[in-house]
Each structure stands twice: as structure tokens, then as C-alpha cells.
């Protein structure tokens, strides 16, 4: 490494607070993807036969698909044979039974991230299913949840303990062949979270998973499946962060939500994957498929996301409004700074009668960031009296960034009511001067104005997350003005 590189490395490390690497032995497959790799993954996890068949089916579909190119993002072609599809912390076989058995270095990592499991256990009342690279290393609060009848465990464990539930719901919202990256995920997914909330149960705590990509050249392919049975309620928080690397890393996750009659799922994400450096070197490619289905009447699914990280974000958390009077919501803040690119939005598919959806999207572009909102509101013939309200606001900082809005509307039922509002504004010199005249520093002024801009979304986040999101925005925007 040359002196200049070292210097740059030092600078970047300073800027990206979570940019450390944990040195532990990992059990990693060599790069490359073929049927053998899939059989190996499935074998290592001792999966039931149906799972292996499902994976192989996905792999075959993937082979006949092309990478999607319609998004407003640019990157060199990905060599899928150069990626390792499995990385687990060493000593496979028997997983840790309690926190004491977890590698202390892993626990240290979580502490650096501000999520000390021990403390979390005591203080915060949040159950954490921590996914480290591909294998879940610790799950807390299992007992409390078990008493309520809630299943919250690593996906691989669910396959062992509750294969019938997994089999019943897996792929029913995002089928294997849904899109290129969903197919890839279906073939090689390594772990993730599984949640089942039984009929009439209100989950006694917020469920939380912290994802983190650690090993070099590993793609992370988690699979999350959340099922809320009739009349139940669950709130799920997902936070993501990754160490700093010069290479790009692929993250292709799939999240499926199923809300039965009268059930409600609230899914919140704060995503802070490594965004790359100022010149656009390194960073995560975050190509994610998230979708929920309101299967029964009066079901409700709510997505809230704050996206500040990743070199490229490509994701559209969506809701299929199948049940009558079901409700879908999407609240999003997406920030792109330096050379980050985001193409994100949602799809609201109205199928049942009296269904309604709300879309609030706030895009912030700074540096040379490119930020696109892409959203589809589709009202099928069956969806009498469907209602949608969409609001897409863009905030620009500086004159080298871009904001783009691509709203799509497909309405096949004349009784639908659709409202769409969009605004684009520049962070005003006037606003900055006003705040500075009152004594605020320029950076505090920017953060105040941006947080004001995002307020309607932050209000939807659970308290602790809202605070973290505000801090993240401020950190991500450091040096964006002036």
C-alpha cells in the first residue's frame, strides 16, 4: 500500500465510524457459484430436502435471467463468480447456546456498534437477533418471547425447528423468480431472521436485527420472513452497517412480510452500510427486495426506512393490498452524498376493496449524489374505492447532485382516488444564513434544516431509532456544505 493510499485509508477510516474489521477465523467457501456450492450451503446448514430443492429451482431460474438495468444507477458489471457465497465464523457445527459461548471479539464488534448484547438484554427491552456475515450468533430475549408464543429466531434455526411454517410461507410474497437478485438470494441465502406471531398476540417488545458484513469479498444474502397471524401486532427494527473496504460488496437480501386478517406489521430500517469514499471507491451494493402482503381484511403493513449508507441502493419495499380495507404505508428518507446513488421507492398494489396506501418519500442529495424516487401505485379492477396519497419531496445541497422522481400510476378502477404531490427544493442560503444569524454553526444549521425536512418520516420511527437516524443524517452530511 503506497503512502498516499495509507493516508486516504486513514482519512476514510476516520470518516466512517463503523469502519473496523473483526479478525476471527471464518469458515468461508472459495469464490464461485454453481449447483455444488448451493448443495454445500444447504448441507452445511443441514437443511430439509424441500429447502435444497427450492434453492436449486431458484438457481436455475436465476441462470436464465438478466441483471436489471432500468434503475437510474451506474456501476460496472458484477462478476458473480468472484463472490464467495458462504462465510461463517469458525468452529461450525454446534452453534453457541448462550452469549457466553459467543466469540468475545464478535461481542466487542457489537459494542463498537453501540449494541452491546448484554446491556441490551438488561436495559433496552429490545430482542436482538444479530446476524454476523451469514450465521446468527446470538439471540436474546427468546424466553420472554416464547412465553408470548412468538417465534423469533435465525432463519436456519427456523428451518430445523419449524420447517412446516417456513415451507408454508416462504416465497409466497417474493417468489424465487421475482427478479434477478431475489432469485440469486433464493438460491444462496445463508441466514436471516424468522418471526411468527400467533393469532391475537401483540408482540411484547420491538424485535431487532443488526446486520453486518465483515469478511472480504462475501456477499451477504439474508432472508427474512415475518408472519403476523390474525389480529396480531409486531414491530421489527433492522439496522445495518459494514466495515470499510476498497472493493464493492454485494448485499442482496429478501424480506417477506405476511399480515393476516386484522394483523399489523411495522418494519423499520436504518441502513448505514459503508457508502464508499468521496471518490466513489468501495461501498456496498445494496440490491434488496422487500415486500409485504396484507392477506386478510383490515391488515396493515408499514415500511419506514432511513437510508444513509451504501454506494448504490436499489430497493422498493412494497405492499400487496389483498384483503378488503387493508392499509399499506411507506415512509422513506434516502440520503446520497459524495458519489452515492439511490434508486428507491415503493409499490402499492391495490387488489381488495376500500384499500388505502400512503407514500411519503424524502430524498436528500449532496455532493455528487444521485437520488431517484421510483414508485408504482397500481389499482386493479377489483379494488373499489381504493385510495392513495403520495408525497415525494427532494432536497438538493450544492449544484453537482441530482434528484429524480419517477412516479408510475396504473389505475383500472374508476372509483379510485389518487393524490400525488412532489416538490424539489434547494437548501436555501437564506435558511442557512437565518440560522447562523441566530448563532448556529453552519453544520448545525444544515442538520436542523434537514431534520425538519425529514420530520414526517422520523415521527414514524420508534424513539431510539429516530434519535439514531437524526445522528446518522448529521454524520453523513458532514462537509456537504461550504
Q: Interface residues with other proteins (CB under 8 A)? A: 428-431, 433-442, 444, 448-449, 451-456
Least distance from C-beta 440 to other proteins, angstroms? 6
Query: Cα angle vertex 449, ends 447, 452, to 5°?
Result: 105
Q: Which three cell numbers stand for residue 97?
A: 447456546
User: Given the complex with other proteins, which of 424 and 451 has the nearer CB atom?
Assistant: 451
Phi, psi for residue 49 in degrees, rounded to 5? -60, -40
Q: How far is the CB of 426 from other proteins (least distance, A)?
A: 13
Closest distance between other proteins and the C-beta of residue 256, in Å?
A: 33
Nearest-approach distance from CB 334 to other proteins, in angstroms: 17
Helix (H) or strand (E) holding 49: helix 49-63
Rounded CA-CA distance 360/454 in Å is 10
What is the 3-class SS of 216-275, one letter each residue?
CCECECEEEEEEECCCCEEEEEEEEECCCCCCEEEECCEEEEEECCCCEEEEEEEEECCC
Q: Are 307 and 272 in contact (CB under 8 A)?
A: no
Considering the complex, state which of residue 408 and residue 433 has its C-beta at the smaller distance from other proteins.
433
Nearest approach in angstroms of CB 441 to other proteins is 6
CB 268 within 8 A of CB 236: yes
Please give the Cα distance from 172 to 234 (Å, whole number). 19
Residue 378 sits at φ, ψ, to 5 deg, of -120, 125
Closest Cα partner for 343 from 316, 368, 367?
Answer: 316
**Shortest Å, Cβ 360 to other proteins:** 12
Burial (CB < 10 A; 0-12, 13-18, 19+), residue 236, is buried
Q: How far is the CB of 391 from other proteins (least distance, A)?
A: 12
Closer residue to other proteins in complex, CB, 385/451 = 451
Angle at 18 between CA 15 and CA 21, to 5 degrees: 115
Crossing angle of helices 442-453 and 463-476, in 10° steps, is 130
Q: Which is nearer to other proteins, 381 or 455 (CB)?
A: 455
Q: Between 124 and 451, name the residue whose CB sits nearer to other proteins.
A: 451
Sequence-separated (6 or more) residues with CB below 8 Å from residue 131: 137, 154, 191, 192, 193, 209, 210, 211, 212, 222
Comparing CB distances to other proteins, the nearer of 165 and 448 is 448
Choice between 73 and 432, CB closer to other proteins = 432
Q: Nearest distance from residue 359's CB to other proteins, in Å?
A: 18
Q: Please, which residue, 119 or 444, has the CB nearer to other proteins?
A: 444
Smallest gap, in angstroms, from Cβ of residue 418 to other proteins?
Answer: 24
Decide whether 225 or 397 has the Cβ nearer to other proteins.
397
Amino acid at each position: 500500500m503506497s503512502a498516499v493510499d495509507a493516508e486516504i485509508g486513514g482519512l476514510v477510516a476516520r470518516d466512517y465510524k463503523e469502519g473496523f474489521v473483526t479478525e476471527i477465523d471464518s469458515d468461508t467457501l472459495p469464490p464461485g457459484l454453481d449447483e455444488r456450492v448451493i448443495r454445500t450451503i444447504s448441507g452445511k446448514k443441514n437443511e430439509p430436502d424441500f429447502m435444497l430443492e427450492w434453492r436449486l429451482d431458484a438457481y436455475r431460474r436465476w441462470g436464465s435471467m438478466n441483471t436489471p438495468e432500468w434503475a437510474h444507477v451506474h456501476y460496472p458489471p458484477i462478476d458473480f463468480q468472484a463472490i464467495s457465497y458462504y462465510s461463517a465464523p469458525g468452529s461450525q457445527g454446534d452453534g453457541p447456546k448462550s452469549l457466553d459461548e459467543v466469540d468475545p471479539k464478535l461481542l466487542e464488534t457489537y459494542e463498537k456498534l453501540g449494541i452491546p448484547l448484554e446491556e441490551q438484554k438488561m436495559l433496552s427491552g429490545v430482542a436482538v437477533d444479530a446476524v454476523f456475515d451469514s450465521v446468527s450468533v446470538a439471540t436474546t430475549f427468546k424466553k420472554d418471547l416464547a412465553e408470548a408464543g412468538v417465534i423469533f429466531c435465525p432463519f436456519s434455526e427456523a428451518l430445523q425447528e419449524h420447517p412446516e411454517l417456513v415451507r408454508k410461507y416462504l416465497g409466497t410474497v417474493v417468489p424465487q423468480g421475482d427478479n434477478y437478485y431475489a432469485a440469486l438470494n433464493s438460491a444462496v441465502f445463508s441466514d436471516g431472521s424468522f418471526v411468527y406471531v400467533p393469532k391475537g398476540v401483540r408482540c411484547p417488545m420491538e424485535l431487532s436485527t443488526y446486520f453486518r458484513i465483515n469478511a472480504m469479498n462475501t456477499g451477504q444474502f439474508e432472508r427474512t420472513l415475518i408472519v403476523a397471524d390474525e389480529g396480531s401486532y409486531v414491530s421489527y427494527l433492522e439496522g445495518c452497517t459494514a466495515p470499510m473496504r476498497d472493493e464493492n460488496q454485494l448485499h442482496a437480501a429478501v424480506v417477506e412480510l405476511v399480515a393476516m386478517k386484522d394483523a399489523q406489521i411495522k418494519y423499520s430500517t436504518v441502513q448505514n452500510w459503508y457508502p464508499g469514499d468521496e471518490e466513489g471507491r468501495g461501498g456496498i451494493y445494496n440490491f434488496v427486495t422487500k415486500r409485504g402482503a396484507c392477506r386478510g381484511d383490515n391488515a396493515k403493513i408499514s415500511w419506514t426506512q432511513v437510508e444513509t449508507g451504501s454506494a448504490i441502493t436499489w430497493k422498493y419495499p412494497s405492499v400487496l393490498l389483498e384483503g378488503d380495507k387493508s392499509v399499506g404505508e411507506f415512509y422513506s428518507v434516502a440520503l446520497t452524498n459524495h458519489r452515492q446513488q439511490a434508486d428507491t421507492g415503493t409499490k402499492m398494489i391495490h387488489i381488495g376493496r376500500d384499500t388505502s396506501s400512503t407514500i411519503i418519500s424524502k430524498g436528500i442529495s449532496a455532493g455528487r449524489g444521485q437520488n431517484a424516487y421510483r414508485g408504482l401505485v397500481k389499482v386493479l379492477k377489483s379494488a373499489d374505492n381504493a385510495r392513495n396519497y403520495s408525497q415525494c419531496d427532494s432536497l438538493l445541497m450544492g449544484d453537482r447532485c441530482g434528484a429524480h422522481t419517477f412516479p408510475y400510476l396504473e389505475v383500472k378502477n374508476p372509483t379510485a382516488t389518487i393524490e400525488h404531490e412532489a416538490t424539489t427544493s434547494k437548501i436555501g442560503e437564506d435558511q442557512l444564513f437565518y440560522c447562523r444569524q441566530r448563532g448556529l454553526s453552519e453544520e448545525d444549521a444544515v442538520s436542523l434544516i434537514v431534520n425538519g425536512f425529514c420530520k414526517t418520516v422520523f415521527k414514524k420511527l420508534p424513539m431510539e431509532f429516530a434519535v439514531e437516524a437524526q445522528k446518522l443524517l448529521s454524520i453523513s452530511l458532514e462537509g456537504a456544505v461550504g
